[in-house]
Amino acid sequence: MYHVIASAPAGAPFPGLYVPRAEFVAQMRSLAQAGYHAVTLDRVWNAWRGEARLPPRPVVLSFDNGYRTQYTVARPVLQRFGWVGDENLQLTGLPPKQGGLGRPEVRALVAAGWELDTQGYSHADLIRLDARQLQYQIAVARREIRDLFHVNASWFCYPSGHYNSSVIAAVKAAGYLGSTTVVPGWARPNDDPYRLPRLRVLGGTSPEALLALIAATRETPSPPPAYPS
């Protein structure tokens, strides 16, 4: 799980969410040298159902919130390896003048083979919303993304990782195949697809530390029924 692929500016409120370009390049090179191959969540899902094949060490590289550097920096880096990412777009994210993706850039990511999924309309705390608000954030957002970008948008990404049984029910009702959390761990075919774990990559993570993090979380239990619990 990545956010901004750039050095953190002075005074940034969440500096850990910034991964400098050189650091990101070193991490991707290290993953490739270790035999990993980046794929989409759709491909993982199809393989779990016996309808596709995965490379020996598949990994999904997800990018949250729709920062422009995901297009300007991450996309060309992944392209060198023949890899694609998974963009978790929020519809009312940052405008382009504040460092967010514009619609032409989102379309270019899709054209480059990236998967386009969503975090909903805004970065709302879903566990605090009523049924109508949940439907807007989850179902209406999916319909708009599908209309705007002509993609399936089959996966939901919980903003800040917050979810409970009501949120999961709303995601299912909206027709998503599953959803991703911020709980660390490996995703497996027998996992609940609406509680898939991810590994947050923070600024300052060396290539060696990233490989160690992946290895260390292999046996981590599945995410809980609600988060935060």
pLDDT tens by residue, 97-125? 778 999 999 999 999 999 999 999 999 99
- Residue 158 has, within 13 A of its CA and on its CB side, a CA count of 33
Question: Which amino acid type is present at position 92?
Answer: T
Q: Which of 186, 185, 168 is nearest to 177 (CA)?
A: 168
Taking the CB of residue 134, how many other CB atoms lie within 10 A of it?
22
Compute φ and ψ for 156, nearest 5 degrees.
Answer: -105, 145
183 burial (CB, 10 Å; 0-12 / 13-18 / 19+) is buried
pLDDT of residue 132: 97
Question: Helix and strand tally (H, E) in the chain?
Answer: 9, 7
**pLDDT, position 161:** 97
The single-letter code of the amino acid at 93 is G
The CATH code that applies to domain 15-216 is: 3.20.20.370
DSSP for 18-57 reads B--HHHHHHHHHHHHHTTEEE--HHHHHHHHTTSS---SE
- Burial, 95: exposed, middle or buried (Cβ in 10 Å; 0-12, 13-18, 19+)? exposed
The pLDDT, as a whole number, for residue 130 is 97
Domain ranges of the chain: 15-216
pLDDT digits 0-9 by tens, 63-72: 999 999 999 9
pTM of the model: 0.95
Which residue numbers in the chain have pLDDT < 50? Answer: none
Beta pairing class for 57-59 and 115-120: unpaired
pLDDT at 96: 75
The answer to whether 41 and 219 have CB atoms below 8 angstroms apart is no
In this prediction, residue 94 carries a pLDDT of 78
The helix (H) or strand (E) run that includes residue 141 is helix 141-149
* Alpha-carbon gap, residue 99 to 94, rounded angstroms: 6
pLDDT of residue 76: 98
Percentage of residues of the chain with pLDDT beyond 70:
99
Task: List 100's β-bridge partners, or say none.
Answer: 67
- pLDDT at residue 99, rounded to an integer: 87
Express each pLDDT in 148-168 by its tens digit: 999 999 999 999 999 999 999
Q: Alpha-carbon Rg of the chain, whole angstroms? A: 17
